[in-house]
Amino acid sequence: MVDVPQLVEQARQGRPRAVARLISLVEGAAPELREVMATLAPLTGNAYVVGLTGSPGVGKSTTTSALVTAYRKTGKRVGVLAVDPSSPFSGGALLGDRVRMSEHASDPGVYIRSMATRGHLGGLAWAAPQAIRVLDAAGCDVVLVETVGVGQSEVEIASQADTSVVLLAPGMGDGIQAAKAGILEIGDVYVVNKADRDGADATARELNHMLGLGEARAPGDWRPPIVKTVAARSEGVDEVVEALEKHRAWMEEHGVLAQRRRARAAREVETIAVTALRERIGDLRGDRRLDALAERIVGGETDPYRAADELVDGLTNGG
């Protein structure tokens, strides 16, 4: 039996193994999942959640790593959730990247967790928010969620952050790729990384045009900044942090932060509820009620819609 309150206490004291254990419990849908979530609830809400997404090769992990360094300089505790099987955080990339990450691995103020695409019901949309909650409750001031912006669920996760950062790089036909993947719409801050390469200005201009940033906006509207970086040399990274802080301040001023967090919580509840309902129906296979309904359909006494109504009513009156 896992002693959940003790584990949570250890996590809050900054013990990385306790944090890791808690994340494993919530992402694996362990029997303790509900107890963990209930224990964490009053401890959450402090972390600023930043989503980073972009096509493979734009330098997401390098940027994430540079951001970790920047935030650590100001004394903040940082959590990293890498939802990307090719991320060096998941051990799947170039040696140079891994070396860069390994600085953080020994820093007690940094938690790094990778999360591969999961096969079970609800998938990433279900598991990622739980892991964020653990990092939040464990005392992270900032949680960086790195997702590869190619799948629907990855884009969804990034868009559910407090602030979404969309990364591009010059010369990858990247604007079009990003537009196709639907990540252009979700950015609060845009980063053109590898800005020392040819075409960085063109990419920034193209982006500026595609986003309609030249157009007039209502006063008080957020105008997503485009920041040029060379993350591998930490150039421009302080400007990214500055842009993030500005966006955060803007959200707080306009009530957007609370609104986004409510929307995120609502999505979480929905996902969990749908999963639960689906499981309840799944449990009915071989159940006499479903068998009896099927029998009546085959006999022409009822139709699948009326049968489904009966089934749903049965479920909702105590299962």
Residues that bind a second copy (CB under 8 A): 33-34, 37-38, 40-45, 129-130, 133, 258, 261-263, 265-266, 268-270, 272-274, 276-278, 281-282, 284-285, 290-291, 293-295, 297-309, 311-312, 315-319
Q: Which is nearer to a second copy, 1 or 298 (CB)?
A: 298
Q: Smallest distance, Å, CB 44 to a second copy?
A: 6
- CA dist., res. 74 & res. 87, Å (int): 25
Q: Smallest distance, Å, CB 271 to a second copy?
A: 8
* Tokens at 121, concatenated: 């019901």
Q: Smallest distance, Å, CB 113 to a second copy?
A: 19
Q: What are the φ and ψ backbone dihedral angles of 145, each rounded to 5 degrees?
A: -110, 110
Q: Smallest distance, Å, CB 88 to a second copy?
A: 30
Q: Which is nearer to a second copy, 185 or 295 (CB)?
A: 295
Residue 178: alpha-carbon gap to chain centroid: 18
Q: Which is nearer to a second copy, 201 or 283 (CB)?
A: 283
Q: Smallest distance, Å, CB 131 to a second copy?
A: 13
Q: Which is nearer to a second copy, 176 or 263 (CB)?
A: 263
Q: How far is CA 180 from CA 30, 58, 158, 185, 207, in A?
A: 37, 16, 16, 10, 14
Q: Which is nearer to a second copy, 120 or 262 (CB)?
A: 262
Distance between the two ends of the chain, CA-based, in angstroms? 28
Q: What is the 3-state secondary structure (H, E, C) of 82-132?
A: EECCCCHHHCCCCHHHHHHHHHHHCCCCEEEEECCCCCCCCHHHHHHHHHH
For 143, other C-beta atoms within 10 Å of its C-beta total 26
Q: Which amino acid is at 256?
A: V
Q: Which is nearer to a second copy, 75 or 318 (CB)?
A: 318
Q: Smallest distance, Å, CB 139 to a second copy?
A: 14
